[in-house]
Structure 1
Amino acid sequence: MMTMAPARPPYGGFNTVALRLEVRRVLRNRRTLVFALGMPALFFLSFGLPQAGQAAAGTEVRQLTMVNMAVYGSMLAATSCGAAVAVERSVGWTRQLRITPLLPLAHLAIKVLTAMLLGLLSVAVEFTLGAASGVRAPLRVWLLSGLIAWLGSSVFAALGLFAGFVLPSENVMQFVGPALALLALCGGLFVPLPFLPESIRSFAEFTPGYGVGQLARLPLTGGPVAGALANLAVWATLFLTGAAWLYRRDPAR
């Protein structure tokens, strides 16, 4: 007697319905929203807004601070969203998904896209706040810096997934918060890189926050592109590959 193999769903199970449900689930998490959207905005109001009219390296400080905090916000939002997989693992949700036709790559793609949408929301909040506070810049700066800050969130969505598969749910955010603060520092998001101690500058350009920070500031400051692009590509590849590998080997599946 012949049996038919179960049909694979189109695109491995990736579809807009699953994506929409995941986005709605994330938007119901008020703690994550306040953390990811509120903290960068507070930093801009505290450190960027009071420096109206001041310039650094020929660029208005408020413009730099707005772009830096947009990058930091997208980092926070995307990483926090990705790291939520640790909670799903602890309650057995990922184990349930393993018995569905949903392929691992489709599941990870839904997670990354959801995290990037939250990152986009964070960038939009920061830029809206900057515009309302009197920050003025050419249209290409708003578009390019915002686009880079948003696309860079894909790296940190993958970082969040990686951390969520490695760390238990009760510890993952205790790691993510300090780790992102350090990565933001190395990316020049809090303090310009030339002002950092030599001990930090010596390795800062090899950290995940460096590439996206440099690229997002380029429309304002100019500078070389190749090194920052390579940094972004390498870390995105490492985190995405690592998250996919950990998902397949996850003992909580």
Structure 2
Amino acid sequence: MTAVPAAAEPVPVAHTLAGPRTVPQLVRTARYAVATTRTTLRNGMFVFFTIALPVLMFLMFNQIYGTQASGEAGQSVGTFIMVNMAAYGGLGAAINAGAIIQTERSNGWLRQLMVAGLMPRSFVAGKLVAAMVVVLPALLGVFLAGILLAGIDLSALELTRSLLTLWVGMIPLVLLGLAVGLALKPSAVGPVTTIGMMMLALVGGLWFPFEMFPDWLQSVSLYTPTYWLGRLGAWGIVGEDLPVRGVVTLTAWAVGLALVCALLLRRAARGASRR
């Protein structure tokens, strides 16, 4: 599988952030989030690898395995392939949208943003909002392909519940990308992001059925955010008992990574202020 490339260098937004210090941080955050979202979505390679590639993978896997009955609430295997491929597309968009911060660090953009008055917490919030926006097309693209091209039949409730669950579940993955972008040198971010995304997709059971794994790998999978992302997305369609362990696991990842990001950003901000 090919990893999602880093997005293009951010367009200058200093003029949207600069101005009197009385400008509310919420306004600065919103302006930064909009500028970052626009830049990311204009990157053709990013869009291809987060939307087109997962759609193509879904159509291929569905053609091979999709007609088999899954035994879960009468749904076909294709339904759960759709959920997993949507999660995979969202995974790539989330991690890489967060990791784009390495570009802003390497070209001095982080320093300019801080000088313009954007506080570190507003920076994280803006980056998180922008990443969550660019994740949506990756999820919607696969679901639309499933409904319009593969004939998967979902009620409005099932569709909404599964999409919303997958979308919210992307928060820890965005934070993971942000942590990688803050912690590593720019030259190392791309390889680490690529390998990490592939390992999370593989071990999380997004590419191959969890039941095929040996016992030791199944035990590892239960602690990954990607495994529970797929399970919660499937729960949105099947509608059985909520996997509480999955909610707890994703929450723990999100809280832990948020703390790591706060520490790393504080370090990055100090470094930027000394330049």
* Cα pair 1:187 1:214 within 8 Å, conserved: no
Confirm or deny that 1:246 pairs with 2:260: no
Which one of the candidate residues 81, 90, 114 is aligned to 2:130?
Answer: 114
Deviations 1:88-125 (A, max 9, x none): 11111112222222111111111111111111111111
Q: CA deviation at 1:9?
A: 3.2
Distance 1:182 1:128 in 2: 26
Q: CA deviation at 1:19?
A: 2.1
Structure 1 residues 118 and 49, CA gap change in structure 2 (3 angstroms): farther
* Cα pair 1:90 1:252 within 8 Å, conserved: no
Confirm or deny that 1:171 pairs with 2:188: yes
Aligned to 1:225: 243
Amino acid paired to 1:19: A
Aligned to 1:91: 107
Aligned to 1:198: 215
- After superposing on structure 2, the runs of 4+ consecutive aligned residues of structure 1 that deviate more than 3 Å are 6-9, 11-16, 220-224
Identity of aligned residues (%): 30
Q: 175-184 or 84-93, which moves further after superposition?
A: 175-184
Distance 1:140 1:237 in 2: 29
Distance 1:62 1:73 in 2: 16
Q: CA deviation at 1:49?
A: 3.0
Query: Structure 1: which 5+ runs fail to align?
Result: 1-5
Aligned to 1:162: 179
- SS of the counterpart of 1:55? coil
- SS of the counterpart of 2:170? helix
Count of residues in Structure 1 that have an aligned counterpart in Structure 2:
248
* TM-score, normalised by the number of residues in structure 1: 0.91
Aligned to 1:17: 31
Distance 1:129 1:151 in 2: 21
Which one of the candidate residues 65, 69, 85 is aligned to 1:55?
Answer: 69
* Cα pair 1:63 1:137 within 8 Å, conserved: no
> CA RMSD, aligned part only?
1.8
